[in-house]
Structure 1
């Protein structure tokens, strides 16, 4: 049955190639058609970006991508989603051909193409968020000083802060500064994005203060002072409550190495010459390996996430 399916796919590919040959033979302008198709596609993707960003899940995904990639822009969102959906469909079909279980193929493809990449992005985000949170008090003090120095113009204060910082925090504050020149809708989106990157508690408070100053022209010196006092008190409390999660997290790293060791031991001692064949060349064996592999990745992900204490 698998061979027949592969043959059908080959025939479909041959048919598509024949259609292209006929198109060329009739003298149709492929270059012009490609340019027209590319332009229509860009217009559709731009429309998708403006429509999809209103969905809370898509907006959250946009924030996550922006928190992980320096050169990411909103215009790339729909392209990434379409590409991921295409890979999901292709992986589902391939797993169905190998295992012959449609529901399992969908679930495994969803984990491999959606959950695992999003999980990796989330881990990168949490590590960078830890850096942003550790410098939030210093950045807020610097912002207050520059705000007073620049005669209560928040945009100029943001510019000064972004120039004085370094590393990923500089990228985040520079992005916020750049978006504060856009219309009100983009300013609000940028403030939400900043709050997501720093942390939704005190990061949201700072984002709200900056947004009010840039969007409405509100004088926010007192609000910044109150935020700095709150951050200072919170940092004192967090130093007295250090977590030991990093020791427990080391257990999660052992899942994947143990999986490999157990498979090698099974082939070497328990079922010589048969374990690998069953595990990787039968539907049930391959399905059990995929499940174990997914749970191993989950263990590693949780270990990375809880490795450092959450400070905000």
Structure 2
């Protein structure tokens, strides 16, 4: 079957007809200049200011994730900016059966200090606790026993149950799920709710897109997005963003000096990774600069730029 490069290659061919934005810190004759221009024109990388690219700046995991989300979005036919994360993402509430909101909270709201656990009864039930102030505690302490309520995460009702003051005497309200519920929706929405970044954080849309489209299925829930990204992490995100037929082998390379990872070999065989020395050493734990990232992404965008290596080389 013919390799499926259509959306990315088409975007590149159209965008290369546009004049490149001039970055004051990217000399025209430097080795990464054309790669930076291609990535900027294709919407994968942006400048760090109106006229700077910061080629020597270490790339963070948030930047790698954002690039992967943009690759995935373009591959599926999107162009321009990523879709905006819903306002409801990272929000939660306790509601009455009629839908009235009793208490609202969010993943960025430290005042309510959300915690939860499953009890040891059979069948096991979820207990979710929220710290409240004295006024909220009084308003949410129903007379005559626990009140029937529902739990909403990210705008979706995930569980029904009962609300009552916590039994430990603290200013906490406890939601206890009803017996015999299916927790699939709760776990799905919780895994998205907990890491939701604050509104206005620059990579919020990318993180939402990555979670919604399965790019983060193999990532830990508490990923350190502000930390420097490694070459290995870049490879993982590229592979998660695009289908396998975007990486046809153009080389007979069968081994590397320092890794046997099949995903890394896929990117070497496709001519996207070339190693950090004459031996083709991968150096998966090494960080990378924005210039290096641009060079890799240019090979992803344009198969003509991919580098053919073999074991002898």
TM-score by length of 2: 0.22
- Bigger radius of gyration among the two: 1
Higher strand share: 2
Which has the higher relative contact order, 1 or 2, with Cα contacts under 8 A spaced 6 or more apart?
2
Q: Which one has a larger percent helix, Structure 1 or Structure 2?
A: 1
